[in-house]
């Protein structure tokens, strides 16, 4: 329900601001949830209300992905560029995360998932910083902004943001 709102925030203030807000909201919501969770009685609905900000933050991160992918990759290679980067991360982190979680649970106790979620939020902050350095593909009909270099022959205009 909030994805159109977050898309508008990204359009108005930029991907960096939107991703930083999303990472902050997710980190605060996750830390709050995992700090309060051990004190709640089984079946308590309070956990749902505490988890809501974290869910909103995750939705905010997901909301900007289609626009960002469309701006980074030309249409001819868009799906390949997205799927290769996505699947590399899933293969590396998804394959090792269960082993990491077992070790963290043994080392830190039941609060260990919070550190994994906060690490993911830190990666989102890093992505927010890097995303403004990525050259954007604005298509064949795009007009370059002031100071943008001429495209080399193909008519495509990559523009650094």
**Residue 141 — pLDDT band, cuts 50, 70, 90?**
low
pLDDT of residue 84: 92
Residue 160: DSSP 8-state: E
Both tokens of 37, joined, read: 């969770």
Query: In 3D, which of 129, 101, 95 has the Cα closest to residue 117?
Result: 101
Neighbouring CB atoms inside 10 A of 26's CB total: 24
Neighbour-count burial of 116, counting CB atoms closer than 10 A to its CB (0-12 exposed, 13-18 middle, 19+ buried): middle
> Region 125-136: what's the mean pLDDT?
80
Report DSSP letters for 91-141, one per residue. Answer: IIIIHHHHHHHHHHHHHH-TTHHHHHHHHHHHHHHHHHHHHTTSEEE--TT
When pLDDT is averaged across residues 4-32 and rounded to a whole number, the result is 86
Tell me the average pLDDT of the chain: 80
- Domain map (residue ranges) of the chain: 3-134
Distance CA 103, CA 105 (A): 5
Is pLDDT larger for residue 149 or for residue 91?
Answer: 91
| Helices (H) then strands (E): counts for the chain | 7, 2
Q: Give Cα 118 to chain centroid, integer Å.
A: 13
Q: Please say if the pLDDT value at position 160 is more than 60.
A: no
Q: How far apart are CA 72 and CA 158, in angstroms?
A: 9
Whether 122 shows a pLDDT value over 50: the answer reads yes
- Confidence class for position 143, pLDDT limits 50, 70, 90: low
pLDDT (0 to 100) of residue 134? 78
Tens of pLDDT, residues 28-71:
888 888 888 878 888 888 888 888 888 888 888 888 888 888 88
Spatial neighbors of 38 by CB under 8 A, at least 6 apart, are 110, 111
Please say if the pLDDT value at position 21 is more than 50. Answer: yes
């Amino acid at each position: 329900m909030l994805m159109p709102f977050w898309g508008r925030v990204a359009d108005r203030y930029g991907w960096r601001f939107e991703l930083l807000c999303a990472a902050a909201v997710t980190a605060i919501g996750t830390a709050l949830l995992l700090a309060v969770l051990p004190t709640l009685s089984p079946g308590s609905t309070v956990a749902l209300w505490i988890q809501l900000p974290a869910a909103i933050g995750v939705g905010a991160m997901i909301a900007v992905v289609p626009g960002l992918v469309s701006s980074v990759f030309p249409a001819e290679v868009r799906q390949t560029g997205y799927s290769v980067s996505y699947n590399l991360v899933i293969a590396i982190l998804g394959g090792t995360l269960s082993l990491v979680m077992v070790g963290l649970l043994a080392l830190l106790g039941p609060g260990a998932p919070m550190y994994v979620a906060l690490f993911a939020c830190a990666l989102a902050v890093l992505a927010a910083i890097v995303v403004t350095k990525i050259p954007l593909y604005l298509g064949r009909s795009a007009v370059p902004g002031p100071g943008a270099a001429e495209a080399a022959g193909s008519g495509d205009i990559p523009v650094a943001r």
